[in-house]
């Protein structure tokens, strides 16, 4: 089943990027007097407006379907209101350019650029609040499942068990990729003495006779 809360984070980055690109290319077009930059900015501006509409609608749907506390709700309300401001500014800019058939408004260009600049600033502030809701308040974020039990830790190539280990098991370490059977096999191949053999000691008397203890 489709989760409506996941739509907003999927589309919200499009208006952010498109608004910034449109503003930058309008500035470049004004500096270089290049019509191509103006046209490119106009296309991005139109796309930014429609993307913003989708982001606003999906954001409203998500806000009504995710649990959040009062502090997160306050931030969410501010984020929502800034979204309306962004949508309104983009609507004005698109209508302005639409009347000029997409051309850059030479008359009143400073008012246009000032309004555009305010829109860019609002996008930046709103984006910061959106990130704050996710990374600080954890809105619409699921908890990471705990895979390992308490007392289990890994250190380097070996591993050890704490409280979760059986009381009869002593702490031990193996090399990387080594298990109990491999460790026993290697001990036999190396000719490691058994505990009984280790207890036997050679004793030599003065007369040259040798026996074991």
pLDDT digits (tens, 9 = 90+) for 28-59: 999 999 999 999 999 999 999 999 999 999 88
Residues contacting residue 40 through CB under 8 Å, at least 6 positions apart: 25
pLDDT value for 74: 81
Dihedral pair phi/psi, residue 78, rounded to 5°:
-65, -45
| pTM of structure | 0.63
Q: Topology of domain 10-135, per CATH?
A: 1.20.120
d(CA 206, CA 213): 16
Please, what sign has the CA dihedral across residues 144, 149, 151, 153? negative
Q: Where are the domains of the chain?
A: 10-135
From CA 117, how far away is CA 62, in angstroms rounded? 28
10-residue block means of pLDDT along the chain (213 residues)? 72 93 96 94 97 92 71 81 95 96 93 97 91 69 58 51 40 41 42 44 47 47
Model pLDDT, residue 34: 92
Q: What is the DSSP letter of 178?
A: -
**Cα–Cα dist 112/116, whole Å:** 6
Query: How confident is the model at residue 77, as a pLDDT?
Result: 86
State how beta strands 158-161 and 152-155 pair: antiparallel
Task: Give residue 9's pLDDT.
Answer: 78
């Amino acid at each position: 089943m489709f989760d409506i809360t996941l739509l907003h984070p999927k589309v919200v980055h499009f208006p952010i990027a498109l608004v910034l690109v449109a503003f930058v290319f309008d500035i470049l077009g004004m500096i270089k007097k290049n019509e191509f930059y103006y046209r490119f900015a106009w296309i991005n501006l139109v796309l930014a407006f429609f993307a913003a509409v989708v982001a606003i609608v999906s954001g409203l749907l998500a806000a009504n379907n995710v649990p959040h506390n009062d502090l997160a709700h306050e931030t969410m309300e501010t984020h929502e209101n800034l979204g309306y401001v962004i949508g309104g500014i983009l609507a004005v800019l698109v209508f302005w350019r639409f009347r000029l058939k997409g051309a850059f408004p030479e008359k009143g260009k400073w008012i246009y650029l000032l309004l555009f600049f305010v829109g860019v600033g609002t996008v930046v502030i709103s984006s910061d609040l959106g990130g704050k809701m996710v990374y600080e308040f954890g809105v619409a974020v699921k908890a990471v499942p705990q895979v390992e039990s308490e007392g289990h830790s890994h250190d380097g190539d070996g591993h050890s068990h704490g409280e979760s280990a059986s009381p009869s098991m002593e702490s031990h370490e193996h090399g990387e990729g080594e298990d109990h059977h491999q460790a026993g096999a290697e001990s036999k191949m190396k000719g490691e003495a058994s505990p009984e053999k280790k207890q036997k000691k050679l004793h030599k008397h003065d007369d040259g006779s040798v026996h074991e203890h």
